[in-house]
Amino acid sequence: MIGDLLTVSYRSRVCLADPVADLLGIVQASRVRNLRLGITGILLYNGFHFVQTIEGPQNACRELFARISEDPRHSDIVAFGVRKIERRRFPDWSMRLISRAELLETMPELRLLDLKEPQDIERLHGRVLVELSY
């Protein structure tokens, strides 16, 4: 529904006991749940932080972000992009993981994921779409 779409972007510190297994579990569960809820987005991981953008129906995005905020695999969560949108940036990705290796290879200047402002996430989205749309 146009007008009912929301995007939420946040950065969090990663708290993973087994990074490989935990990331695999997060992505697998997210893809199933997000497909059911009509949510799309990206998840960037640099070994220390997540930067995630989710987009979809307002209620679904708000509920998902509330669940993420309670998830012990995240700490120091900072939301820096919550707004209504007309169209999705990532309509074909139920949850696209951009791993540390992929991030360093294609966008080395983003290795710290030091994003603090809404315009930072817009630049990141543009770069992801140019560099990693396949």
pLDDT digits (tens, 9 = 90+) for 43-87: 988 888 888 999 999 999 999 999 999 999 999 998 887 899 999
Strand partners, 91: none
Among 101, 121, 96, 78, smallest CA distance to 27 is for 96
pLDDT digits (tens, 9 = 90+) for 92-126: 998 888 888 887 887 777 666 666 666 777 777 77
Cα–Cα distance measured from residue 40 to residue 30, given in angstroms and rounded to the nearest whole number: 9
5-14 and 74-85 as β-strands: parallel, antiparallel, unpaired? antiparallel
What SS3 state is found at 39?
coil
> For residue 116, what are its two tokens?
């603090």
The sign one gets for the Cα dihedral 112, 100, 123, 66 is negative
Domains identified in the chain and CATH numbers: 5-132 (3.30.70.100)
pLDDT at residue 24 tops 50: yes
Cα–Cα distance measured from residue 46 to residue 75, given in angstroms and rounded to the nearest whole number: 15
CB 13 within 8 A of CB 48: yes
Cα–Cα distance measured from residue 68 to residue 64, given in angstroms and rounded to the nearest whole number: 6
Confidence category of residue 1, pLDDT binned at 50, 70, 90: very low
